[in-house]
Structure 1
Amino acid sequence: MATTPDPNETSKEPKSSVPQNTFLGLPQELRDEISAYLVLKPRNTVITMLSNHDCHRSEVSAAQPALARVNRQLRQEILPQFYGSNHFLAEVSDAEDLATAKRWLDAIGDENAGSLCKLVLCGWTRVPFGHMISRRWVKVGMDLQRGRLELEPTGQTGDEPPHPYVSKSIEGLRRSFERLAGANHGAGTQRCRFTVAALKHLLDGFHGLCAAY
């Protein structure tokens, strides 16, 4: 015989479809702290476009965090933090390096590219030195959200002033960067959002500096 439900009995159905003992069941503030611990790297960590297998000991792959692959909600929470808070580096001395960096940009897409904050380009350039050619290591830092490009110290002992050829080339790259930054300002905001196509254009420009001689 069926029993009549007691209207005063407290429902045993869960109030939320998300179990409280899962990561998504935690308070947002706690999730943010855990996510930051998992996805944010020390400022001096080199995050390259290479796979983990190909990275040097001092480098970390730019592959997306494993936690971001759990479900869509975690991707939406974690990826903007991963791309917006870490510094990424691309060495584009040769055509193979350039192709690797471009494949990485294609893989992350415009939405994630728009979240990037700091992108560093580096590579070997060749400059005239008397009757010979001298190699110089060049490093350029781009603040993609504020629209700034600066020549960075190489970190080598006895850093010399940039060669006039390098200075001229970097100035041309800066003008191109500023044009793209102006064209990619977010609607109603003071920050830039670079597209994959715009970043590829800058990669090509820097690679041209490396391959000019």
Structure 2
Amino acid sequence: MLDENRRPLMTVAAVVVVLAVLIGGFLLLRGGSEAKLSVQSIPNDLTLTIDGHQVAANGDVKVKPGTHTLVGERRGFRTYTTTITARSGDNLSFKMYLYANSAEGRQWGQNNPSQERELEAEAGRKFDQTQARLRQKYPIMAKLPYIGPGFEVDYTNSKTDPKNPEAISVTIDVFGPDGRTKALQWIQFNGWDPASLDIIWSTSKP
């Protein structure tokens, strides 16, 4: 008897979700010419919204030109928010990949190994891209770590801008006489301005 009562409720819920997706797509299209956005999502059953309107997590959606906010959410995973800019006639593609932040999310990965492998591959690609941008922004990274007469230079995540994954701090450990002066001379000799670097100084006993 209870199962019979649940069926109409489940049917209504499914209809509401479908209507929400359809209405969301209609609202995104309203006014102006179109651009096409192709979305691929992992997990494939996450909830995706564009400008607050729910759309299909995988497939094509047409949007009007301008800047749009995409949000991917699923229980057991970190929510991800980003923006895209579309122009009339654009054919854009976007990967909405979420990463597990709980036991439920990790269990999902074990139950869906092919999608988990794609997540890991994407994480690797993003790391390589970030490192390439960092090396371009901070040429000093190509020389690090470096040990000089009385000093050692390396780098770490930015201490002054910790929320920025594409910022670093240069760490200089001084352990010999005139180590600080020689470290600054080494930086200038390589053509870098010490004032342009976020330097963290420390002193160790020789």
What TM-score range do you get, normalising by the shorter chain? under 0.3
**Bigger radius of gyration among the two:** 2
Higher share of residues assigned strand: 2
Higher relative CO (Cα under 8 Å, sequence separation at least 6) belongs to 1
TM-score (norm 1): 0.25
